[in-house]
Amino acid sequence: MAKEIVWSELAINSRKNILKYWVLKNHSAAYSIKLDELFREAVMLISKYPAMGKPTDIHNVRAQKLHDYVIFYGEVDNKIHIFYIWDNSKKASVVSRLRGRR
């Protein structure tokens, strides 16, 4: 049975920013709509199988990879809390800039 899903403000904002980025980049909402559907499907799977994500160093927080993104979530009071959606492509560009400064 699927558990109730609770989105944090941080997770809502990160998802919105990712989708908005793709609308602006592609001059179309088509990809963002498909990506949002993938996010929703992944979260539904997480709600059915909470242990599917990889445990992190943070207590009670798991990470589920989805293409270039990572969904950070945890189970609190028998509900799935989505904490954040991380864009891995942004991380790579930040690491590249930091390496250039050495």
Q: Which residues contact 47 (CB under 8 A, 6 or more apart)?
A: 2, 3, 4, 5, 80
| pLDDT, position 43 | 97
- Sorted by where each begins, the domain ranges of the chain are 4-91
Backbone dihedral angles phi then psi of residue 53, each to the nearest 5 degrees: -75, 160
Per-residue pLDDT of the chain (102 residues; tens, 9 = 90+): 789 999 999 999 999 999 999 999 999 999 999 999 999 999 999 999 999 999 998 999 999 999 999 999 999 999 999 999 999 877 655 445 445 543
β-pair type (79-87, 4-7): parallel
89 CB contacts (<8 Å, ≥6 apart)? Answer: 68
The CATH number of domain 4-91 is 3.30.70.20 = no
d(CA 58, CA 102): 29
3-state secondary structure of 81: strand
